[in-house]
Structure 1
Amino acid sequence: MQNEITKPSNLLFENGELIQKGWARKLILDYNPEDIDAGSLRIKEWDYYAVLNQKEGYGITFTVADLGFAGLIAVVWLDFRKRIFIPDEVMPLFTRGRFNLPKSSMKGDIELDEKGVSLEFLKKSDTRILKFDFPEFNDGEGIKADLRLKQDPNMDTMVIATPWKKKPTRFYYNQKINCMPSKGTVQKGNDTFKFNGDDDLSYGVLDWGRGVWTRKNRWYWGSASSKFEDGPRFGWNLGYGFSDRSYASENLIFYDGIGHKLDEVTFHYDVNDYMKSWKITSNDGRFEMMMEPVIDRNSKTNLLLIKSVQHQVFGYFSGFFILDDGRKINVENVLGFAEDVYNKW
């Protein structure tokens, strides 16, 4: 079942349960934390950006999250040619909503200065401005970013609102915005790295999440954004593994600004060696990709109240997808990622 939500409403009833369940192309359900039926430690809110330059072979990711038990401000530098990643983060404890993240992805800014890390995530008309300064990154090497991501307001996005079957006041409300041409610079130590949008296939994705989660979850997520030479931008969002997906999946192809809905997908990979080839298939036969990994951005966190085991694998995808009108689109060596994440939070 793929229930598409087309009518705006509040996200939650006063008892904390979802009013509408399914997927949408825009963020049309209003998130109001005052309607949540849970303590502040159970509320999970985040903004995650990944900006990848396919032609030059580098990228950067940013995470701002308020997980109740703790906050997280994190950055990862990615060098796909050298096959290395450099992560760093600060994690203030028991934030419990103190970060005051916006209720919507479409308006509101994030401005934080925590433990020597300063950031501004600003929304100005159709542009997302990312400013980030972490002087102590990588043992004092330092990293500073100033990036502009252009979001076409008419472009489809992936939005999903699903509950947990056994606890209907637990819910996942999420938006993925793909295919945003990204321009600007990252200063890492003494080196400057440029991002030039369509010219060097630099694209950003936003993972915007708000919800009340159960304690333990494992999820799978995959994403890519690119552009055909002399052709349209395209990409995909894939995900499964948690909450009740009987209402909808979050699997969507993006092609020239239009979303094409998929049913269920499966990630086929070696759990003992994440650097072996991955295969991703859909049960409707409309998506089949092989991914050749170049970086396993892996991490383990165990802070008693919070435990996380992550394998975010970046690589190059080749295969095909089929649009709603039946057209088969072949792609080759598209930079993206697929991940396997376990969280106890």
Structure 2
Amino acid sequence: MRLPIRPVADAGEAITEREITEPVDLCLPSGRLNPAAVGWTRSPVHRANLRGWGRNKRFEYWSISTPDAVITLNISDHDYRANVAVTYGSRTEDREIRQGGNIWLPRHVGMRDPDNATPMRAQRRDTTVEFVPRGRGSELYATSPRIRVALRVQAEADHESMGVVVPWSNRLFQYTRKDNGLSATGTVTVDGVEHRVEADSSMVIHDHGRGRWPYFTFWNWASGNGTTTDGRRLGLQFGGKWTDGTPSTENSIRLDGVLHKISEHLRWQYDPGDWLRPWTLTGPTVRVEFVPTKHVHHVFNRWIVLNRADMCFGRFSGTVDIDGDRISFSGVPGHAEEVQRRW
């Protein structure tokens, strides 16, 4: 199987994707992409056996939304650079606290287990972040001068999540698993004030990635969690730009715990000059509008390393056609973002 390097599909086109149901290695013994790993999954079956050094990317990102705040925790290992971070952003005030930062030429940050079954822990000076797998859930911990986190995340028994391998070539590729519709319980302490996080009022997003990336990447990501207009449990997952021109997409919806893959590259339309104007995501079966209510900008620029992110929080409305049925929803809370990276 020859993996595509040149574009094979444009935004707005439907494609054919293969569902993988059995365990598979991400890489061949040579370190190149295993052709048998290209496809999508509804449960984690990829074994991320990355080899070599220099362009490997391993990351775990968690976002916990409550009625008052958005808390994020991140550990990433890019061979020559690692990042450990915990943030707290108020939903009602113009207030954001960031703790942590980059670690240059790290030895490792506990992310080399190809089965992702062992705890992951990273420390930068006085900031420590740790993720501990626990069956169908995870425990999330962070300590820093201003933020402390102790949370338990759990999925329901029928919960499915989307995994997909995106092949740019047989040398550059990414396995990503996007999960939402999760809930958390525990505490977040900010500047000495403890905030309770409850399962019935929290929404959790998990972004898991393993692969070997090109130097420059540019992407859109959107995620939402709520109910359809007829009361079914709904999870929204959309991605774009970085998958355009490949035989894979990052698009799916989940209904009452069951994943439905959307095999089409979507058109994303929004105004980078005014992030709070409505966004639209469209394709052959997708017609979605996202109305932002808050915009967060972050940039780290050191010439050869760039991380620029514009994230908006708001609500999704629209329709998605699945197996002949039209799924309608309105006012579903979530986020949408544009990110540019050189790394």
TM-score (norm 2): 0.87
Q: Which string of whole-angstrom CA distances, capped at 9 and with x for unpartnered residues, describes residues 97-131 of structure 1?
A: 61131535752111233211122211112221111
Is residue 26 of structure 2 the alignment partner of residue 25 of structure 1?
no
Is residue 139 of structure 2 the alignment partner of residue 129 of structure 1?
yes
Counterpart position of 1:340: 338
2:110 aligns to what? 100
Distance verdict in 2 for CA 1:329–1:57, change over 3 Å: farther
Whole-Å Cα distance in 2 between the matches of residues 40 and 296 of structure 1? 36
Residue 50 of structure 1 pairs with residue 63 of structure 2: yes
Query: Of the candidates 61, 64, 74, which is equivalent to residue 72 of structure 2?
Result: 61
Contact 2:131 2:141 in 1 (8 A): yes
How big is the shift at 1:243?
Answer: 5.0
Residues 240-281 of structure 1, C-alpha deviations (whole Å, 9 max, x = no match): 222575422110001111111212222211011212221222
Query: Where do 1:1-345 residues align within 5 Å?
Result: 1-15=16-30, 16-20=32-36, 21-33=38-50, 36=51, 39-53=52-66, 56-95=67-106, 98-104=108-114, 107-135=117-145, 142-152=146-156, 154-165=158-169, 168-197=170-199, 199-200=200-201, 202-227=202-227, 231-243=231-243, 246-262=246-262, 263-281=264-282, 283-285=283-285, 287-324=286-323, 326-332=325-331, 334-345=332-343
Which deviations, in whole Å up to 9, do the C-alpha atoms of 1:33-78 show, x marking residues without a partner?
2xx3xx522111100001112xx24221111111123111112212
- Per the TM alignment, residue 300 of structure 1 is displaced from its structure 2 partner at its CA by 1.4
Aligned CA distance change for structure 1 residues 240 and 302 (closer, same or farther; 3 Å): same
Which range is displaced more, 222-231 or 40-49?
A: 222-231
How many residue pairs get aligned? The number is 325
- Measured in 2, the distance between the counterparts of 1:109 and 1:289 equals 37
Cα distance between partner residues in 2 of 1:229 and 1:145 = 34
Identify if the C-alpha distance between structure 1 residues 19 and 244 changes in structure 2 by more than 3 Å, giving closer, same or farther: farther
Contact 1:240 1:250 in 2 (8 A): yes
Task: Answer whether contact 1:3 1:248 (CA < 8 A) is retained.
Answer: no
- 8 Å contact from structure 1 (residues 18, 171) kept in 2: no
Q: Percent identity?
A: 24
**What amino acid maps onto 1:26 in structure 2?**
S
Q: What is the CA-CA distance between 1:156 and the residue it aligns to?
A: 1.5
Report what 2:8 is aligned to: none
**Whole-Å Cα distance in 1 between the matches of residues 287 and 191 of structure 2?**
40
Q: CA deviation at 1:177?
A: 1.7
Using a 3 Å threshold, how does the CA distance of structure 1 residues 292 and 150 change in structure 2: closer, same or farther?
same
SS at match of 1:50: strand
Q: How far apart, CA to CA, are the structure 2 residues paired with 1:208 and 1:248?
A: 17
RMSD: 2.2
| Change over 3 Å in CA distance of 1:26–1:102 after alignment to 2 | farther
Question: 2: distance between equivalents of 1:224 and 1:107?
Answer: 27
Gap regions ≥5 residues in structure 2: 1-15
**1:177 and 1:206 in contact (8 A); partners too:** yes
Q: Is the 8 A contact 2:128 2:142 kept in 1?
A: yes
2:65 alignment partner, SS class: strand
Distance 1:104 1:313, change over 3 A: farther
Matched letter for residue 216 of structure 1 = F
Task: Flag the 1:7–1:117 CA change in 2: closer, same or farther, 3 A.
Answer: same
Q: What amino acid does structure 2 have at the position aligned with 1:256? A: D
In 1: Cα distance, 2:184 partner to 2:115 partner: 17
Q: Which moved more, 1:2-11 or 1:261-270?
A: 2-11
| Partner amino acid, structure 2, of 1:14 | P
Q: 1:105 to 1:341 in 2, by over 3 A?
A: farther
Q: TM (normalized to structure 1)?
A: 0.87
